[in-house]
Chain A
């Protein structure tokens, strides 16, 4: 009898498998469009980038130059400055996005009247084209006529007009603020979504035991949404590393290279001077460094997940 049952339950998928395509072929057929598309638009260009990095390609011509581009790139002190700046840019901007996003999500999760409206109001920076938000910031940062410089003077914080994008340091931090502005709404909404997924019984139990809000936040909310925080941090880090529109529109990498990150450097080398070969070398450097970073991060992630008991 029990044998009969086992063979019955096993036969249902077997029937399905006999009819038409096998599971393997069916699955491969389903993922084929995605594989083909990304092979042509991502994988092939990636290999081509690697090949071009060994040439002195321009728009119409190219010849093999071996490791010359790499020698030149790795031999220039400027490159290391750009790499350092890019990692600093990423670390600062991502930390700010996570902290502001966490604060924002906690505020939006509070059960107060009007929260539906507040949630709707934080969407715009995420939803509109990044380039359009940047035009708004460009005008805010204007020294002569912009809001920040103008209000700064009115409130007595600034002695005179201050051109935020004209100096290396202020331009860099201004671009960071804009990058955080663009990235925070999405981070907030994902954190909010994760917070709403936390089992309420946990809070009730803690509350009955007399745990305060801060304690509940620290000991329940944070550990429960840790997987979301960790994956958001990695995604956000990769996007921030390759953040192009914001810097390009605000400063084009200037003044005097003060906001030139690796992606801007690669773009300007390739399309500013049409040194496609040298540009490709810089693109390969980005892929290698981001790859190493992601591997290191995932390694840490596994350990943290084990610590929090998440699969």
Chain B
């Protein structure tokens, strides 16, 4: 008998537990999908019916006419999150290297200051940010949704990436120094190539943050329809008289599909990556 052996009863218990857990996690999506298939007449119907004979993918066709900019909103979401991720990584990577490898005055203090940024969620600082963006004439542009997003993703990014860089053997850099390489050369040609797996994991988690949390900045700093990301754009399915729930759900599911598909393939590396970065040996 091995340590990982489960009795039949234990197996049933585990699957039952996983089933319950997944049901809680996936219930909203299942219900969104069911709603997207249902004609409005059946949605506004009591008593509640789980399935009806008129279910179809009609809403997935109609939604593009109801909200002509839908494709643009889906793109905006991905564009904003990608820009935030790219710029964040440019800022995070050198800083993480400094904290992982170098000794300098104010090191602990400045790292602590970075981490304390986590306490000031964007919502707390909205007022001056609004005025700042206003005076820079950046309100109602993509930048109004990109710039504030970056600042709040920097601290966690530095922390995660630092964990990775600390694992790269120091001897490789020292060998490069002794061979006469400059600091910048060593960073670019020795450290960065070795850090690629870590950069991917941190980049992915930065992207998740940027993609998941763009609603607040969008509704506060941007009034231009064409620039709205998906979560804010979905409001247009809410009419004066009624809400087109089936089309809104269809649009929401379609909109997150590209990103979900990518994550479905990346998740294995992400879990493995979190293990490597978050766990100290």
Complex Cα spacing A147 to B120, Å: 36
Cβ proximity bits A124-148 to B, threshold 8 Å, 1 near / 0 not? 1111111111011101100011110
**Smallest CB separation, A55 vs chain B (Å):** 11
8 Å CB interface, A168-208 against B: 181, 184-185, 189-190, 192-194, 196-197, 203-204, 207
B264 within 8 A of A: yes
Interchain CB contact (< 8 A) of B129 among A20, A41, A144, A154: A41
A16 at interface by CB-CB < 8 Å: yes
Residue in A26, A132, A228, A279 with the greatest tally of chain B CB atoms within 10 Å: A132
Kindly report which residue of chain A lies nearest to residue B45, judged by CB atoms.
Answer: A145
Task: Give the shortest distance, in Å, between A175 (CB) and chain B (any CB).
Answer: 14
User: Which B-chain residue is minimally distant from A285 (CB atoms)?
Assistant: B124
Partner of A133, one of B17, B28, B114, B275: B28
State the CA gap A242–B117 with chains docked (Å): 13
User: How far does the alpha carbon of A38 sit from the alpha carbon of B156 in the complex, in Å?
Assistant: 13
Contact with A44, one of B98, B128, B232, B264 (Cβ below 8 angstroms): B128
Q: Is the CB of A270 within 8 A of B48?
A: no
Given contacts A110-B6, A132-B255, contact A27 B104 (CB under 8 A): yes
Of the listed stretches B51-59, B64-72, B176-184, B192-200, chain A binds B176-184
A283 contacts B124, C-beta separation under 8 Å = yes
> Which size bracket describes the interface of A in this complex?
35 or more
Complex Cα distance, B241 from A172, in Å, reads: 27
Within 8 A of A (CB), among B134-174: 147-148, 150-152, 154-155, 158, 174
A119 interface contact, C-beta 8 A: yes
Is A128 in contact with B212, judged by CB distance below 8 angstroms? yes
| B190 touches A (CB below 8 Å) | no
Q: Which range holds the interface residue count of chain B?
A: 35 or more
CA distance A26 to B15 in the complex (A): 53
Chain B residues engaging chain A, CB cutoff 8 angstroms: 3-4, 6, 11, 14-15, 17-18, 21-22, 24-29, 31-32, 35, 43-48, 77, 90-92, 94-95, 97-99, 102-105, 107, 110, 114, 116-121, 123-129, 131-132, 147-148, 150-152, 154-155, 158, 174, 177-178, 180, 182-183, 208, 211-216, 220, 229-232, 234, 245, 248-249, 252, 255-256, 259-260, 263-264, 267-268, 270-271, 274-275, 278-281
The answer to whether residues A112 and B6 also contact, given A120-B267, A127-B208 and a CB cut-off of 8 A, is yes
Contact between B256 and A21, CB atoms less than 8 A apart: no
A145 touches B128 (CB 8 A): no
CB-CB under 8 A from B125, the residues of chain A are 42, 45-46, 49, 283
CB distance from A133 to the nearest CB of B (A): 6
User: B91's contact among A33, A45, A190, A192, by CB below 8 Å, is which?
Assistant: A33
B18 touches A118 (CB 8 A): yes
Contacts A38-B154, A129-B256, A153-B47; A21 near B183 (Cβ below 8 A): yes
Give 9 pairs: A residue, B residue, CB < 8 Å, sorted on A: A19-B180, A23-B103, A30-B98, A34-B94, A136-B28, A140-B28, A190-B274, A207-B3, A283-B124
Report whether A267 and B278 are in contact in the complex, using a CB–CB cutoff of 8 Å.
no
Q: Which of A26-57 contact B (CB under 8 A)?
A: 26-31, 33-35, 37-38, 40-42, 44-46, 48-49, 52
Contact A228 B102 (CB under 8 A): no
Closest chain A residue, CB of each to CB of B4: A111
Minimal Cβ-Cβ distance residue in B for A147: B31
A145→B243 CA distance, assembly (Å): 13
CB distance from A309 to the nearest CB of B (A): 14
Query: Given the known A-B contacts A139-B245, A181-B28, are A12 and B177 also in contact in the complex, defined by CB atoms under 8 Å?
Result: yes
Contact of B249 among A26, A30, A139, A204 (CB under 8 A): A139
